[in-house]
Structure 1
Amino acid sequence: MSQGQVEQLSNTLPGVSKQETRTKQSWIEAWRIALRRDKYLYLMAAPGLLFFLIFKYVPLWGLLLAFQNYSPYMGFWHSEWVGFKYFHEFFTNPDFMLLFRNTMAISLLNIVFFFPVPIIVALMLNEVRKLAFKKFVQTVIYLPHFLSWVIIVGICFLIFGQGTGVINQLLVEFGGHKIEFMTSPNLFWAMLTAQSVWKEAGWGTIIFLAALAGINSELYEAAQIDGATRWQQMTNVTLPGIRSTIIVLLILRLGQVMDVGFEQIYLMMSGPVAQVADVFDTYVYRVGIQQGRFSYATVAGLFKSVVGLILVVSANRVAKKFGEEGLY
């Protein structure tokens, strides 16, 4: 664009200076150059961007249902607006504290017991010198990640079921008594955590192994010259080298603290464990889908999202105060 065209454009836009017009044109031109230069990279990223646009951002309009008495017959734009009516009903509902307790308890157990497991396994595999054994272990612990929760829960019933479960049959065979693994409220949270560890620990291990591979080998050589033991190398070189990865994944995990997984809990839920199994995800399904209270269920979903956002922002600020990069 010539100088005369820039001046003519700035004169036609009231309140816009020539400098601002030049800045906007430079920005647009920079985007054009980037698109021409990296067009194949943008083309490769297009499916992922479309996925987030269609399934993550466009559905945000549905949050308006929380402020409506939504009726499928009236439609999205013609349903009655009721303000914060369903918010008041949701937070004053006697089930709210029960749902909040169960959700937070399951999430805290996952953070305390599940989150460190991939780190520990990655550190242990990093010390293995036989490459064939290392790859074998990685494959074995990673395979459950590809199994659906239907299969995982089915296997648990075959192993821990009260009637035909292998463990209970062995207990009876050796003169013991059956244990209600799957229907005991006292064991339900532990069973969920153990299933999560078994299914997803392998995936987390791969992430931390990739982070370990990025540590400069010269740091280990310097530590060996100084006489550091393997334990001292791990505490003074390895762990600080993956600290940023641990913090980022922990922040992301805190953002999902209210999202404990619908499918796993729904498949594990039964009458005897209902009081410790009912969480926001199952409650939204029961109230929103089965009872057709779409607006009320949207309030519960919105509450989960807001809590996750607050935790992510708060954890990110705390990480930055301690000198870490954080998410942004």
Structure 2
Amino acid sequence: MGLSTTASASPKLLSNRQVLWTRMKKYKLMYMFLLPAIVVTIIFAYIPMIGLIMAFQDYSAVQGFLNSPFAGFKHFQNMLSNPEFMLGLKNTVALNGLLIVIGFPLPIIFALLINEIKNVKFKRITQTISYLPHFISWVVVSGLVYKLLEEDFGSINLLIQMLGFEKISFMREVDYFWGVFVTTVIWKEFGWNSIIFLAALTGIDQEQYEAATIDGAGRFQKLLYITLPGIANVIGLMFIFKVATIFGGGGGGASFDAVYNMGNALVSEASLTLDYHVYLAGIRHAEVSYGTAVGLVLSILSFCILLLSNRISKKISGYGAF
């Protein structure tokens, strides 16, 4: 029985290997272009994972990885009892949650609107204008936001004063930070994030629209029954990746560079995120082992969220990232 099973499995395994080898030979030029990216990923993403051992040590730069004393789960216990970690967790989940709820649908809506524009020149100009903020450094963006919202001479406050209302300290009061931050991130990234959805829209068979027109379907019906189902797999995939960043890690969300430049000491209660908490602990306070422990926990949480969102997406829409 066992011999027959092995015998039947071996040709299948051999066939899969032959198919893989044939595919690699056929697309060898593409694999050669992919090779530098693989090498860079291994060097800068996987090899540094050796440093995760610091999370379980009282790491000393003098003693190194091999000689630093073993600390067990001490830093993880300190993390859970640290009020700054809990505050950072709350702010990270809240900010990224808002960016998902508000910011994720906007690029889809924008891509659908752009797709309806018939004037090619106007369409390209609109796309270019919407993409540009993505390429502006967060240093410049935060500087512009601070100038616009300045209490004494900012344009927004001057307008508020002209309308007969009192000036608002947008960047000095905790209550306003989340709103300002989320609005700024969405403005900066929604045009760039729409590129993938625009590319997906170009892949929809135009004959479906022609057939729908002949059948008397209107724009809304075409949108509902052709356009949205046509890009549903891309929407599901991008949503999975977006949800995976809810505990930090960028992706147009509450990234370290955004929080570092937009926040200040007066609004630290609302601007302290986990990425910034790791920076404070590991760089400013030289608590390398503690910072590594927090970073490891964030990576594990993000991976678990990725798996969960992928499973939910498969159950609801039938599409998943893997």
Question: Structure 2-normalised TM-score?
Answer: 0.90
Q: Which one is further off, 34-43 or 297-306?
A: 34-43
**Of 171, 174, 181, the match for 1:185:** 174
Specify whether residues 151 and 98 from structure 1 end up closer, same or farther in structure 2 by C-alpha distance, changes over 3 A only.
same
For each residue in 1:101-155, what CA deviation from the matched residue of structure 2 results, as whole angstroms up to 9, or x when unmatched?
1111101110011111100101111111111111110010001111111111111
Aligned residues: 312
Q: 2:185 is matched with which residue? A: 196
Note the alpha carbon deviations across 1:274-298, whole angstroms, 9 max, x for none: 1111111111111110111111001
Aligned equivalent of 1:261: 255
Could you tell me how far apart the structure 2 residues matched to 1:305 and 1:165 are? 40
Q: Distance in 2 between matches of 1:24 and 1:324?
A: 28
Q: 1:56 to 1:19 in 2, by over 3 A?
A: same
8 Å contact from structure 2 (residues 85, 277) kept in 1: no
What's the CA shift for 1:186?
1.3
Question: Could you tell me which residue of structure 2 aligns to residue 301 of structure 1?
Answer: 295
Contact in 1 for aligned 2:133/2:189 (Cα 8 Å): yes
Partner amino acid, structure 2, of 1:272: L
Match of 1:286 among 277, 280, 285: 280
1:61 aligns with 2:50: yes
**Residue matched to 1:49:** 38
Q: Distance in 2 between matches of 1:45 and 1:122?
A: 29
CA deviation profile, 1:21-75 (whole Å, cap 9, x unmatched): 9998888777666555443222211221112111111111111111111100000
1:88-99 correspondence runs (5 A): 88-99=77-88
> 2:65 aligns to what SS in structure 1?
coil
Distance 1:254 1:55 in 2: 24
Partner letter of residue 41 of structure 1? M
- Counterpart check, 1:106 vs 2:100: no
Query: Structure 1 unaligned runs (5+)?
Result: 1-16
TM-score, with length taken from structure 1: 0.88
Instruction: Measure, in 1, the Cα distance between the counterparts of 2:163 and 2:15.
Output: 80
Match of 2:66, SS state, is coil
For the 8 Å contact 2:89–2:274, the answer to whether it is kept is yes
C-alpha displacement of 1:315? 1.0
Aligned counterparts of 2:120 and 2:37: Cα–Cα separation in 1: 34
Q: Name the SS of the counterpart of 1:80 in structure 2.
A: coil
Distance 1:219 1:36, change over 3 A: closer
For structure 2, list consecutive stretches of 5 or more residues without a partner in the other structure.
1-5, 249-253
Residue 235 (structure 1) aligned with residue 229 (structure 2):
no
Distance of 1:171 and 1:297 partners within structure 2: 43
Higher relative contact order (CA closer than 8 Å, sequence separation 6+): 2
Distance 1:55 1:213, change over 3 A: same
Equivalent-residue separation in structure 2 for 1:144 and 1:244 (angstroms): 27
**Cα displacement string for residues 284-327 of structure 1 (whole angstroms, at most 9, x for unaligned residues):** 11111011111100111111111111111011111222352301
Determine which structure has more spread, i.e. the larger CA radius of gyration. 1
Which stretch has the larger CA shift, 240-249 or 216-225?
216-225
- Residues 20 and 212 from structure 1, CA distance in 2 versus in 1: closer, same or farther, beyond 3 angstroms? closer
Partner of 1:316: 310
Deviation at 1:95, TM superposition (A): 2.2
Secondary structure of residue in 2 paired with 1:69 = coil
Deviation of 1:173 after TM superposition, in Å, equals 4.5
Instruction: Name the residue aligned to 1:5.
Output: none
Letter in 2 for 1:88: Q
Q: What percent of counterpart residues are identical? A: 38
- Alpha-carbon deviation of 1:168? 1.6
**Aligned partners of 2:117 and 2:123 also within 8 Å:** yes
Q: Which residue of 1 aligns with 2:251?
A: none
Cα pair distance change 1:30/1:112, threshold 3 Å: closer
Matching residue's letter, 2:267: V
The equivalences for 1:4-19 within 5 A come to: none
Distance 1:34 1:233, change over 3 A: closer
